[in-house]
């Protein structure tokens, strides 16, 4: 799978992201399945909230422009 291109949101290079992923995997290895799933749920919830904020912002921008430009991501 091809890595996603860098984003203005991450601030990490591809190499730094790979290093971070390896470090995280090493850190969570000793967790029980329940603990790991709880951590993943927390990260997923954070992502959900970020997307809701972006969606809300895009809807507000669309309402303000009223030109039919779709700012949704």
Report pLDDT digits (tens) over 17-55: 999 999 999 999 999 999 999 999 999 999 999 999 989
User: With 50 as the cut, is the pLDDT of residue 1 above it?
Assistant: no
End-to-end alpha carbon distance in the chain: 22
Task: Categorize the per-residue pLDDT at 59 as very low, low, confident or very high, splitting at 50, 70 and 90.
Answer: confident
Position of tokens 């779709």?
70
Decide: 46 and 38 in contact? Cβ < 8 Å: no
Give the helix ranges, DSSP H, for 14-32.
Answer: 14-28
CA distance 21 to 43: 14
- Which one has a higher pLDDT value, 61 or 11? 61
pLDDT range class, residue 66, cuts 50, 70, 90:
confident
6, 14 contact by CB (below 8 A): yes
């Amino acid at each position: 799978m091809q890595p996603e291109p860098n984003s203005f949101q991450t601030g990490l290079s591809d190499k730094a992201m790979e290093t971070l992923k390896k470090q995280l995997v090493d850190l969570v290895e000793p967790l029980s399945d329940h603990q790991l799933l709880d951590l993943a749920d927390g990260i997923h919830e954070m992502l959900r909230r970020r997307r809701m904020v972006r969606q809300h912002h895009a809807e507000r921008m669309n309402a303000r422009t009223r030109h039919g430009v779709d700012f949704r991501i």
